[in-house]
Amino acid sequence: MLPLSVALKLNDLISFDRNRLSDSQKHLPQGRVISKAECEKLIPGLTIDGLTGAAVFYDAQMYNSERLTLAFLHSAVEAGANISNYTKVTGFLQDKNRITGVKVTDVFTGNCFEIQAKTVINTSGPWVNSVLGLVQPQPDVHQMGLAQAMNVITRPLFKDYAVGLPGKGRFWFVSPWRGKSMIGTWQGVEAQHPDEFQISEASIQGFINEINEAYPPAKLTREDVLFVHQGQLPYKGIDPKTGEPKMLKQYQIRDFAQEGLPGLISVVGVKYTTARDVAQKTIDQVFKSWGQTSPPSVSAKTPLYGGEIADFSAFLRREITTKQSEGFPEETIRSLVYNYGSVYEDVLGYLKKFPQPSSSDDAVLKAQVLYAVDCEMAQTLSDVVFRRTELGSAGELEQSSVQLCAETMANLLNWSQTKLQQELQQVWKINEHHTPILSGV
């Protein structure tokens, strides 16, 4: 147990400043080592050879990564950025070898236009190679290897804890997720272009088997998997000992001026949780490429859009009490505050536009759809179901809610019956395969 105690102490040392925020709800307590008996009480049915005890430690979990991404975009717009959705980069503007902008295509209309830029930053994730492939002449650079990754959402395995279970060569983390469990992250290698990428049924079944081996009482079957989050992540090669992909551990910021292509910078991120820091370093690199020093970054101390809340519990309690007196159920307000933060009333503001304003769940869902289309560039039903609202976040979609969203969007965007049916089919297809791709906004 000594190594675990040392690891926990090291963790406390490295994260010594983790509780600097004034909101005590965001503070993480110190970890502790527990005995074998206590461990077996918390996780009944463990069959780990030579188990002597375990460590309990604390970490944070994003409530909704899609909505957090939208908060970044709202904040960028507030700070003066221009953003667009469904505009695909299809080429580069070049003055000889200098990159001077991008050619883009509107995915829905096919219209093409150009965007001039002093510097272009390629942040296309798994598409980093294909976007670089649009540059002429082709830079002689190493192509980023892409591994597959997935998390599965299953019936709940544990109630109050996230549990790390040792598997073959890797820990499986079973985290609480919307009353269910999220288990991952599985990684594998199979060469696939990101446009065609799809986790195979065999991989999902293989992962289920590995979880059952690590924790036999789980007895998971394919039917217990309610949803699969999947995506591609950069990797460096295969570990000859385990046969597992060796994932890229460190972000990469590459200024192509070194390759004779000034005006182009590529960024490959490896973790969402480090994105703010990587963005800061990228901006530093942009200024450096202009021969300037970047202004001091304020992003580490500036709350994101919707994050202006000094004390989350107090805020939530106050909003629930106020809105209950207006007829809104507690759960509705809790869910809105968790998803939209301090700006949740912007969503409720849409209720006033209805002929008969109401506080029913259907009315609030319709308001969320209107907000998503009006303020968050939602264009498809999948956008609304999987990337704007919480509806599709744990599988088990409710037919009536999806239908309500579809009809609301159809009215707003003048969809024909055929278009409405196509949008519905697309959502059910994703849900049926339980596999939304972790990319795109």
Ligand X SMILES: Cc1cc2nc3c(=O)[nH]c(=O)nc-3n(C[C@H](O)[C@H](O)[C@H](O)COP(=O)(O)OP(=O)(O)OC[C@H]3O[C@@H](n4cnc5c(N)ncnc54)[C@H](O)[C@@H]3O)c2cc1C
Q: Taking CB under 6 A as the rule, which mask of x and - marks residues 304-343 in contact with ligand X?
A: ----------------------------------------
Please tell me whether residue 144 adopts helix, strand or coil conformation: coil
Plot region of 66 (φ>0 → left; ψ -120 to 50 → alpha; else → beta): alpha
Residue span 42-81 as binding mask against ligand X, x where in contact by CB under 6 A, dash where not: ----------------------------------------
Q: How far is the CB of 219 from ligand X (least distance, A)?
A: 23
DSSP-derived secondary structure for 395-417: B---HHHHHHHHHHHHHHHT--H
State how far the Cα of 295 lies from the Cα of 300, in Å rounded to an integer. Answer: 14
- Cβ distance to ligand X smaller for residue 88 or 281: 88
Residues 399-418 that bind ligand X (CB under 6 A): none
Q: Which one, 127 or 340, has the nearer CB to ligand X?
A: 127
Calpha distance 116→363 (Å, rounded) = 43
Assess contact for 97 and 261: CB atoms under 8 A: yes
Evaluated on CA atoms 221, 226, 231, 235, the torsion sign reads: negative
Cis ω for the linkage preceding 262 (within 30 of 0): no
Residue 245 pairs in a beta bridge with 238
- Closest to ligand X by CB, 383 vs 390, is 383
Q: Does 182 bind ligand X (CB under 6 A)?
A: no
Closest to ligand X by CB, 144 vs 343, is 144
Query: Of the two residues 185 and 408, which places its CB atom closer to ligand X in the complex?
Result: 185
Beta pairing partners, 122: 266
Q: What is the CA radius of gyration of the chain?
A: 24
Determine contact, residues 302/135, Cβ cutoff 8 Å.
Answer: no
Q: Is residue 229 close enough to count as binding ligand X by CB under 6 A? A: yes
Distance between CA atoms of residues 150 and 225, nearest Å: 12
- Using CB under 6 A as the binding rule, whether residue 266 contacts ligand X is answered as no
Q: Is position 220 an interface residue for ligand X (rule: CB under 6 A)?
A: no
Least distance from C-beta 388 to ligand X, angstroms?
14
Q: Are strands 53-56 and 32-35 parallel, antiparallel or unpaired?
A: antiparallel
Q: Does 272 bind ligand X (CB under 6 A)?
A: yes
Residue 95's contacts (CB-CB under 8 Å, 6 or more residues apart) are none
Cβ neighbours around 247 below 10 Å, total: 16
Within residues 80-109, the interface with ligand X by CB under 6 A covers 88-89
Structure tokens at 45: 């049915």
Give the 3-state secondary structure of residue 365: helix
Question: Could you tell me how many residues of this chain bind ligand X (CB under 6 A)?
Answer: 26
Q: Which residue is nearest to ligand X (CB)?
A: 125
Binds ligand X (CB under 6 A): choice among 269, 341, 392, 436: 269
Which residue, 88 or 178, has its beta carbon nearer to ligand X? Answer: 88
24 vs 273, which CB is nearer to ligand X?
Answer: 273
253 or 412: CB nearest ligand X: 253
Told to check if 271 binds ligand X by CB under 6 A, we report yes
Stretch that binds ligand X, among 13-21, 265-273, 320-328, 388-396 (CB under 6 A): 265-273
Residue span 148-177 as binding mask against ligand X, x where in contact by CB under 6 A, dash where not = -xxx--------------------------
Nearest to 300 by CA among 57, 11, 20: 20
Residue from 57, 92, 127, 256 binding ligand X (CB under 6 A):
127
Nearest CB to ligand X, comparing residues 42 and 275: 275
Asked whether position 145 contacts ligand X by CB under 6 A, the answer is: no
The answer to whether residue 123 forms part of the interface with ligand X (CB under 6 A) is yes
Judge if the upstream peptide bond of residue 185 is cis by omega within 30 degrees of 0.
yes
Residues that bind ligand X (CB under 6 A): 88-89, 123-127, 131, 149-151, 184-185, 229-231, 233, 269-273, 438-441
